[in-house]
Amino acid sequence: MEWPRWIVRKPNCEIRNRSTVAPQSLLLMNNDFVLTQSQALAEKHSHQAVHPLHLLNALASEREGVVRPVLEKCGVQPDAIVAESERQLQQIPKVTGGGGGMQVGMLISPGMNQVLESAFKEAELG
């Protein structure tokens, strides 16, 4: 993956074509806290579904997690990711109405489903 210029400082980690810790990435993305934060962010923005952008924001926002230090070591600015993802989240259409009190479950977007499926496949190959 090539990072946009606004995110990258000077990378100081090696780029690999294949992950060597696939189960760790699967655990990270399937962590209840991260998925809950992604869903909460989607709800906060009145989005109908959880998108990869919600996951990216949740991972980069988590100050106690492992993602921020890894990004920083690679020369990526987590706060820039959070700020830009917040800006881009404003572009996703909002859902309004449905004031009948019935709670409909949060959907997973096709893109988010693809991210999760890729993580599972990577873990199986790991």
What is the rounded distance in angstroms from the CA atom of residue 41 to the CA atom of residue 87? 13
Which residues have C-beta within 8 Å of that of residue 42, sequence separation ≥ 6? 48, 49, 50, 51, 54, 106
> What pLDDT was estimated at residue 67?
85
pLDDT in tens, 15-36: 555 555 545 555 565 567 888 8
Phi-psi region of 109 (alpha: psi -120 to 50; beta: other; left: phi over 0): beta
**What pTM was computed for the model?**
0.73
Domain boundaries, the chain: 22-96+106-125
Domain 22-96+106-125 has CATH 3.30.1360.170: no
Whether the CB-CB separation of 51 and 113 falls below 8 Å is answered with no
Confidence check: pLDDT of 45 > 90 = yes
